[in-house]
Each structure stands twice: as structure tokens, then as C-alpha cells.
Amino acid sequence: MPLILLRDKSYKEWNDEMNNSKWYRIGVTLMIGLFVAYLDRSNLSIGLPGMERDLGFSGAGTKSLALTGFLIGYALSNFFGGFLTYRLNPKTTIIAMVFIWSLAQIFTAWVTTPALLITYRIILGIAEGIYWPQQFRFARAWFNKEEITRGTNLIQFYGQFLALAIGFLVLTPIYDHVGWQWLFYITGGLGIVIVVPLYLIFLKTSPEGAASARQEANVLQEEVRPTEKLTFDSLGGYPFLLLVFSYFANGMLFWGITLFIPMLVTSLGFTGLWQGFASSLPYMLAIILAIPVSYLSDRTQKRGLIAASGLVVAGVLLVLLPVIASPVVKMALITLAIGYFTSSYTTNIWSIITSSVKPSAVGPAAGVVNGIGAGGGGTVAGFVVAYLFKSTGSYLPGFSVIGAMAILGGIAVYAYSRIVAGKNRQ
């Protein structure tokens, strides 16, 4: 009898330790995966000038398709991926997608035509789009309501913005010294050599995942393997469309700048190491501001208002760009816009989404919002900025357009938060 109790106690202690380590096992592991994913998304912005030269294309249409090919595939697979993978095991799905997009990255280093480049970028977008909703299924299963903001911020915010802050700084000199091909060899290799083994070893679909298959099935009845029918009401009904529009404006703002920022800073006179530093600076500021803004959000519970202010303030700063003469001041405004917008909007929006839709609809809701928002909004912004650059010779008119859109998106997310608050009071 004592031996049996000792065995039970040891197992319980081991299981508790596993659950307490979720910040590393789930949070940090998925953060590393998203870090690599964002390196894969942004490397083309650095290597495109060399690829234009070597592959022989320079038209606005081809350039826009190359930059937004990822977002086109991303939009479609995010939207449908959340529904198609609704009942699939998230661990199997997420590992398969990392492997597929990493191979696409490596193959991109061998492209000889613009058509092949666009094809591989679309494959990258499809795989990352299916991947995206899965990480929120893990977050919902592992983190409770008091932890979900910190959990999603650890995975999403720091994975995303550490990649952009470090990526532009590190990948720019690699491009300058060894060429664009190595951007894709390195980032694709990271997925296969580091991310896939990490996911195989550390990811569990729930805190009970190590206990037994029967326990796991019970725990994930709602979060991971839902049985109830998915409806529009599960997503929140018509107010959910305000959330989608807000994220569409976010996608235009974020990707409209991120796709073009290495080329913009060059046009403003920054070259060499300064180009990489100036490109990284907005995302460094976002990481710094995220801590106090997250604290303010948790303390005040005014997530909708703070998220809305991120879009509105950034939009106003971008609209002012064409009337500013100094390149340094222009770059300062862009840095402040991205830094404040991302720390205020991105740190709050996924907490708003995961807490306002039904638990069983978190994966599909994340796919719809991110597919239409990031994929659709980013694609539209890519074409807007590229064609206005072709007409005016400047990236700033396009930035002003997406700034005006951001202001409307801020109004939409604030309206959504007020509607949800009213329902909760009732």
C-alpha cells in the first residue's frame, strides 16, 4: 500500500511539474516556432532587390505579387484552415505545416523565374495560414482565463516582434555579404533543424496529454476536438464583423509597412548596417512598450479602448508623413506609429477574441480574423503601396492611405468592445 501511494504521489508531482512548466513547454516553444515563421515571411523584403536584378523583373505588378504571394495563400488557408482542421489533432497539423513551409523556403533559394518565386511564396502562405489557428488551440487548452493574455502575448507578440527586430538587423548584412539565396537556406533550415524537433519533443495538446489518451479526449472535448455545431453565433454574430474589419485595417497597417520598410529606409538615405538598424527600430520599440501597455491593460481591463488607440494614433502619425521634410523625422514617426500600434493593439486583440467567442470556436475565429485581416488587408496594402510608389516615386502616399484605414479600424474595435461589454452587463 505505501508503495502504491508513493507511486501515485510521484506521478502526481511529475504531472504537476509538467503543468507548471507550460510557460516553457507551450509558451516558449510556440514562440520559437512563430519567431522562425516571421523570419520566413519577412526575408523576401530584404532580398527582393537582388532577386529583381537576378531574375529580371521590376514591374509593380510582379513585385506586388512576389511580396503579397505569401499573404494571398495565407488569407485563403487561414480562412478555411480553421474550419478544415477543426477536428484534426493540432500537434500533427502544426508539425506538418512547419516542415512544408521550411522546404518551400529552401526551394526558393533555387528559383530561376518570378513565377516560381510567387508559387513558393503562396505555398509558404498556405502552410503558415493553416498553422496559425492551431497555436491558439494550444493556448486555449493550456492557459486559463487569468493567464490567456500573458500566454498569447508570449507566443504571438514576442515571437512575432523579436523576429522582426532581430531579423532585419541580422539578415540584412547576410544579404549584403553572401546574397539573397542564403536568406532562404538559413530560414528554411531553422524550421527543419530546430522547430520540428522542438515541437515533436515538447508540445502536448493539453495538460492531461501525458496521462492517457482517454483523459486527453475528455479534457479537449470542447477546446481541441469540439462536437457542437459551429455557427455564426458561435463567433459572436454580427458584431464579429466589426472585429474582422478592425483586423483588416491592422493587416493593411502592419504588412503595408513591414513588406516595404527595408526599401523605404533605403529611399530615405539609410544604407548598410544603418538600413538594418532603421528597419528593426520600430519592432524594438514595440517590444519595449509591450510590457507597460500589457500591465495597463490587465490593471484597467480597458482592452478595447487601448487597442483602438493603437490603430488611431498610428494612423494619424502616418497620415502626417507627406508633410514632413526630414528623413530622420519621417523615420521617427514611422517608428512611433509601429511601436505604439503593435504594443497597444496586438497585445490586446487576441485576448479580446479568445475571451469573446465560444471556446469551441477559437480556432475557426482566429482563422477567419487572421485570414481576412492579415492576409486580405496585407495583400490590399501591398498593391496600394506598390502602385502609388510607381506613380509618385515615394512610399509615403501609400503609407498615408493605410494610416487613414487604420483610424477607421480603431473606431471599429472600440465599437465592438462596447457592444460586448453591454451584452456582458445584460
Q: Taking residues 299-304, what's their average pLDDT?
A: 83
In the predicted structure, residue 326 carries a pLDDT above the cut 50: yes
Residue 210 burial (C-beta neighbours within 10 Å; 0-12, 13-18, 19+): middle
Q: How far apart are CA 345 and CA 291, in angstroms?
A: 13
Q: Give the cell for residue 318.
A: 502616418
Residue with more model confidence, 111 or 354? 111
In the predicted structure, residue 348 carries a pLDDT above the cut 90: no
Who's near 392: CB < 8 A, 6+ residues apart? none
**Which range scores top for mean pLDDT: 59-68, 125-134, 231-240, 293-302?**
125-134
pLDDT in tens, 40-62: 988 998 998 899 889 887 777 78
Q: Taking residues 8-13, what's their average pLDDT?
A: 48
Q: How far apart are CA 228 and CA 30, in angstroms?
A: 27
DSSP string, 346-377: IHHHHHHHHHHS-GGGHHHHHHHHHIIIIIIH
pTM, rounded to two decimals: 0.77
* Confidence at 315, pLDDT banded by 50, 70, 90: very high
Neighbours of 323 (CB within 10 A): 8
Residue with more model confidence, 361 or 322? 322
* Confidence at 83, pLDDT banded by 50, 70, 90: low
Q: How far apart are CA 171 and CA 77, in angstroms?
A: 27
Sign of the Cα pseudo-torsion (274, 279, 283, 285, in order): positive
From the CA atom positions of the chain, what is the Rg in Å? 22
Domains of the chain (ranges; CATH) run 15-425 (1.20.1250.20)
Please report, in angstroms and rounded to a whole number, the separation of the first and last CA atoms in the chain: 54
Tell me how far the alpha carbon of residue 35 is from its chain's centroid: 9
In the predicted structure, residue 105 carries a pLDDT above the cut 60: yes
pLDDT in tens, 372-406: 888 889 889 988 998 899 899 899 999 999 999 99
